[in-house]
Structure 1
Amino acid sequence: MRAEIDLRALEVIQGEVPRQLDGGFFRLIGDRKWPAFVENDIFMLGEDGMASCFYFKDGMVDFKMKYVRTPRFVAEEKAGRALFGEYRNPFTDDPSVEGLSRGTANVTMLAHGGKLFALKEDSPAIEMNPFTLETIGEYDWNEVVTSKAITAHPKIDPKTGELVFFGYCAAGPATTDIAYYEADATGKIIHETWFHAPYTCMVHDVMVTENFVVFPVTPLRHELEWLKRHEPAFKWDPTEQVYLGVLPRKGKGEQIRWFKGPTQCHGHTAGAFDDGRYIYADNTFSKRSFFRFFPNADGSDFDPADTMPYLKRVIIDMESNGDGFTEQQLFDYPCELPRIDPRFETMPYSFVTMNLLDVPEQERIGHGFQWVATMDVNGKKPAQIRYAGHNCSIGEPQFVPKNDTAAEGEGYVMTVVGRHEEKRSELLILDAQNINGEPVATVALPFRLRSTGHGYWYGSRQLRGETNVIGAW
């Protein structure tokens, strides 16, 4: 789109926006300002970050969208052309930007300790103004965080307000270093430790419980030699096992314990919790990388069906003498981008919402996500599935509690639907307990937003730094 936008009072074309919603639905997309000079540029992964937010207040919704002005963006804007080459490969850049941060800040928005960040897992966090989306600059937690990369999937412990985050390739491209951090409710770093993964790979997400952190090491490999030969930065290597590294919260790197399992690719975490002995972690897993543009390491072809992810529960016995884990599938359909009620992060939970890739009963099979679903992971309530419509795509759903005291799953599912034929988008606000009913409200945009990976709701009290409980008004 390449458009920075500031709209007041979006049109509500159906229903009413709940007046108690006070905060923002933040989304981060990839949107190149300058055409790439390399072939086969990867959609989303190598594009400039564009931050957007639907701001809610007194039953009205405003919309803002601005580029994240990373060091990379600023350099290219000054030059008037693209200067950075292939995804995650500094050897393909224009010599004028050697040593400059390559981060695009295009994956996730994080609010914690009264600050808002744009995150991309290969680079430092970028601080932004939560109310104007103006870029403040790279942030390193007052020079304490030395990892060269910060995950795009940190977790906030709702009991303590602590931020749990990490960085892989923390010492630089294609290194096995993983740096693990915790910050207190004010944003002060209170714990740091480093350790090595069994092999170099993408560690996109992490599983956090009250007492443990689980790092999924799956064989979407990343080698320096590939970068130097201008080959894809990541390749799928089916010869490697899966490793789940379990570290006690605030533990030291030498305490990590590795559990092994069958080869598969980790996608995103839904929820995770422990009872002191057993860790239960629900995640999406596919037989090989979900990203079809990353080839097999041996150059062989692969079955596209193997990229379809399914929601599974991993169970780890911390009192066992072995190094294995068990798993069970929780949902029949391929799905991704699962989201729980964030007030139950690190704790036992039931409610989850997610996108579906393919529902066989639908007569028309489309590309990308066309369905949103809700389910009870404990099987006590039937799953619900909502179809976005023909020639439509639907974004990652976000659960928003109805109020601070609402029961788990009592609230709203927000998602953006792209109406392709009409060339516009809508923000749907659905009753989380009945997503197939009439939307609580449908808010229209006069243009179509680009698809995005992730979005987060942050209440106004959280944006002001008064609390770190997601959903608090």
Structure 2
Amino acid sequence: MPEIFHPFASFGLQERMPMRFEADVFECEVEGEIPAELQGAYFRTGGDRQYPSLEDDIILNGDGMVSAFWFDDGHVSFRNRYVQTERLKAERAARRRLYGHYRNKYTDDPSVSNLPNRDNTGNTYAFEHHGELFMLREDSRPYRVDMETLDTLGEGQWGDLRSTALTAHPKIDPVTGEWWSYGVFAGGEPTTDASLHVFDKDGKLVREQWFHTPFPGLAHDWGVTREHIVLPIMPLVASEARLRQGKPYYEYDPDQPAKWGVMPRDGDPATDMRWFDVPGVMGHVMNAYTDGDKVIIDTPISPGNCFSFFADKNGRFPEMPETITQITRVVFDLSKSDDEAVSMHPVAGALGDMPKIDDRYAMSKYRTGYFALRAFPQMGVGQIDWETGELKVYELEGAAAQEPVFIPRSPDAPEGDGFVLTVVDRFADKTTELHILDGNDVSREAIARIKLPFAMPMAFHGCWVPRS
């Protein structure tokens, strides 16, 4: 008998149902006028199960769903498709669920127990480098997707890379074009094994260094500056023994402080990393830079466990106030002792996540940052001026914004002079829109709204690829 679909747990203590929906919209409805400078494509990916899951599933376990908005001389067309991973193809061939809980092979059907890269769903970040589009997920090696059709092209080529994992949050050096990456649980099992690795502007592996983290914890995002690396390890701890019992991959340990490693960018992580205790839990990074002896990293931090679908070691799930993230500047003064080096500077009113910047200023001192504002009931897009502390807000009613992405008006435009794209979920209408905002001031009326006649599954992260 076919299985039924169960709701899955999402962020913010929400529950969702899979949509299982692929679509094409040629010539989207547009309110306003598309700026002439926008010529290219906006790619995104998220998680959406095609086949039923086990009960108590979570959003991170969804099959990758890549979507694209193609911009062409004031016209916009849309498409979304499942990423055709080996995992999804196996389930389609069997026409039933074969895979169980998130990153737990012991809950799978025996027929797929030996499938390599079992967890690779390509559901976290649509990422472009050296002219290719990749679907990233932090525990796996990415799949390639055709930019014109969204057809899956197979896994990428990674040279002599030993790590089984490439972070879902790579950093592109805007000066060299290098792809900076790392992997925790780099040997494929939940241990302290980790790898730092770098690919040059053409995608060739030029560096890989292995090291150990202080404990086998979650590391979803990180910071790279022109001089330093910052690697946060969160107290969501993985355990092979727990997996064998059929339990969740991560368990939050409120007694284990988060450990943030800081090292010179040209150093050896096995010997040069200084580990600091930093309170709270973070998931994403806005930007990081070095100023003399100080390493600065800007990130949303919650007082408790913002990964709300993972219980703590006592079986308790967090309450809503524990999960709310606030944009916070964390400063490491490397001239001081470990217990005095860290200071934290939260931005008043900047509640939310999914931070982004003008990527031309990545790894360097910058002024402008954007994020999805989630100061319920106030929802929308926030903009921070790090020089003045001013916070500007694009407010939404009966709707919420997903990740904002910035596109400069021209290659040599001043920082922030350009456009912010953000997908907006309309709750009452159950539809989705793409809003184009003024990057200099997001609080202004939207420049244009691109409308889809249906709702889309939640996507996590994406990128803009200009027309070449």
Relative to the length of structure 1, the TM-score reads: 0.91
* Aligned equivalent of 1:279: 295
Quote how far apart the aligned CAs of 1:249 are. Answer: 2.1
Quote how far apart the aligned CAs of 1:154 are. Answer: 0.4
* Aligned equivalent of 1:378: 387
* Aligned equivalent of 2:445: 438
* Aligned equivalent of 1:116: 133
Letter in structure 2 aligned against 1:104: T
* Aligned equivalent of 2:324: 308
Q: Distance in 2 between matches of 1:39 and 1:303?
A: 21
Q: Distance in 2 between matches of 1:7 and 1:299?
A: 45
Q: Distance in 2 between matches of 1:412 and 1:83?
A: 43
Letter in structure 2 aligned against 1:231: K
Q: Distance in 2 between matches of 1:337 and 1:321?
A: 32
Asked if 1:388 corresponds to 2:396, the answer is yes
Quote how far apart the aligned CAs of 1:228 are. Answer: 0.9
Deviations 1:335-394 (A, max 9, x none): 11111111100010111111122256x5xxxxxxx32111112225x311122212x222
Quote how far apart the aligned CAs of 1:198 are. Answer: 0.4
Deviations 1:157-213 (A, max 9, x none): 101111101111111221111111111111111111011100011100011101111
Quote how far apart the aligned CAs of 1:424 are. Answer: 1.7
Are 2:354 and 2:402, in contact at CA under 8 Å, matched by a contact in 1? Answer: no
Asked if 1:400 corresponds to 2:407, the answer is yes
* Aligned equivalent of 1:93: 108
Gaps of 5+ in 1: 363-369, 462-473
Q: Distance in 2 between matches of 1:428 and 1:164?
A: 30
Are 1:341 and 1:401, in contact at CA under 8 Å, matched by a contact in 2? Answer: yes
Q: Distance in 1 between matches of 2:418 and 2:424?
A: 19
* Aligned equivalent of 1:366: none
Asked if 1:5 corresponds to 2:23, the answer is yes
Asked if 1:31 corresponds to 2:39, the answer is no
Gaps of 5+ in 2: 1-18
3-state SS of 2:42 partner: strand
Q: Distance in 1 between matches of 2:334 and 2:134?
A: 34
Are 1:5 and 1:64, in contact at CA under 8 Å, matched by a contact in 2? Answer: yes
Q: Distance in 2 between matches of 1:211 and 1:294?
A: 35
Letter in structure 2 aligned against 1:387: E
Are 2:297 and 2:331, in contact at CA under 8 Å, matched by a contact in 1? Answer: yes
Deviations 1:131-158 (A, max 9, x none): 221111122423x222111111001010
* Aligned equivalent of 2:144: 127
* Aligned equivalent of 1:160: 176
3-state SS of 1:331 partner: strand
* Aligned equivalent of 1:231: 247
3-state SS of 1:371 partner: strand
Q: Give the root-mean-square deviation of aligned CA atoms.
A: 1.6
Q: Which has the higher contact order (CA 8 A, sep 6+)?
A: 1
Are 2:422 and 2:434, in contact at CA under 8 Å, matched by a contact in 1? Answer: yes
Quote how far apart the aligned CAs of 1:301 are. Answer: 5.7
Asked if 1:453 corresponds to 2:460, the answer is yes
* Aligned equivalent of 2:60: 45
Are 1:6 and 1:65, in contact at CA under 8 Å, matched by a contact in 2? Answer: yes
Are 1:108 and 1:152, in contact at CA under 8 Å, matched by a contact in 2? Answer: yes
Distance 1:115 1:302, change over 3 A: closer
Q: Distance in 1 between matches of 2:27 and 2:165?
A: 37
Match of 1:354 among 346, 349, 371: 371
* Aligned equivalent of 1:464: none
Are 1:124 and 1:140, in contact at CA under 8 Å, matched by a contact in 2? Answer: no
Q: Distance in 2 between matches of 1:253 and 1:383?
A: 36
Are 1:267 and 1:309, in contact at CA under 8 Å, matched by a contact in 2? Answer: no
Letter in structure 2 aligned against 1:111: E
Q: Distance in 2 between matches of 1:82 and 1:25?
A: 31
Letter in structure 1 aligned against 2:387: N
More divergent stretch after superposition (98-107 vs 193-202): 98-107
- Identity over aligned residues, as a percent? 37
- Displacement over 6 Å in runs of 4+: none
Deviations 1:290-345 (A, max 9, x none): 12111111334644311111111111123334354222112334211111111100
More divergent stretch after superposition (420-429 vs 402-411): 420-429
* Aligned equivalent of 2:352: 335
For this pair of structures, how many residues does the alignment match? 447
Distance 1:411 1:291, change over 3 A: same
Asked if 1:291 corresponds to 2:307, the answer is yes
* Aligned equivalent of 2:89: 74
Q: Distance in 1 between matches of 2:233 and 2:317?
A: 23
Are 2:63 and 2:82, in contact at CA under 8 Å, matched by a contact in 1? Answer: yes
Q: Distance in 2 between matches of 1:262 and 1:155?
A: 22
Q: Distance in 2 between matches of 1:254 and 1:29?
A: 34
Q: Distance in 1 between matches of 2:317 and 2:168?
A: 30
Letter in structure 2 aligned against 1:9: E
* Aligned equivalent of 2:7: none
Quote how far apart the aligned CAs of 1:20 are. Answer: 1.8
Letter in structure 2 aligned against 1:214: V
* Aligned equivalent of 1:190: 206
More divergent stretch after superposition (250-259 vs 415-424): 250-259
Are 1:24 and 1:54, in contact at CA under 8 Å, matched by a contact in 2? Answer: yes
